[in-house]
Amino acid sequence: MANYDKLKTLQAKLDTLSSASAPEEFTILGSFFSEDCTTFVASMREYDEPSIGRQATVEKYMEILNLYHVHERRVLSHSTSPDGRTVYCEMKHSVHIFDELLDPFYETVVVVFNEEGLIKELRQYSCRSHIAEIIQAKTGKGPFIELSETRGKKIDNNPCCK
């Protein structure tokens, strides 16, 4: 099976899971990943906190599924590196979060497979601020709890702005 087909199979599996899925379903999910994988399954916003290893990756997916799940996934384009080990996939999908169905948003995933055809690296690129805002509104927890008054503004004493 080509690595892009493996990614499609993973995505199809993810789309069937929920927080109420049986533990065996999460074991199947884990079987797509190498024991020593590094993943960013929420987004690259958490670039300093990747999930390291198969178990941590599955646990992160379980954490996400407690909050939201993909309602509809549409692949817009995909490409595979010449050696066949890296797959790039651009998608547009909507998620169901608590009692809200969000408008579709774009996401790109970059997946690197090892020699055995297991996922060694997975990086998701998207803006999930709209998801974080809803989670925060419903739970009181989120990245926007304490907003700096300089958020989004030029800081004159910042070395990069001089």
More confident site: 156 or 29: 29
Q: Options 3.30.230.10, 3.40.50.720, 3.30.450.20, 3.10.450.50; which CATH number does 3-161 get?
A: 3.10.450.50
pLDDT of 12 above 80: yes
Map out the domains of the chain as residue ranges.
Answer: 3-161
The two tokens of residue 10 are 């993973």
The pLDDT of 14-30, averaged and rounded, is 94
Q: What is the DSSP string of the chain?
A: --HHHHHHHHHHHHHH--TT--HHHHHHHHTTEEEEEEEESS-GGGTTS-EESHHHHHHHHHHHHTTEEEEEEEEEEEEE-TTS-EEEEEEEEEEEETTEEPPPEEEEEEEEE-TTS-EEEEEEE---HHHHHHHHHHHS-STTSS--TTTTS--TT-GGG-
Task: Fill in the amino acid letter for 109.
Answer: V
pLDDT of 155 above 60: no
The pLDDT assigned to 144 comes to: 65
pLDDT tens for 36-83 read 999 998 876 677 889 999 999 999 999 999 888 888 999 999 999 999
The two tokens of residue 149 are 């008054």
Q: Is the pTM of this model over 0.85?
A: no
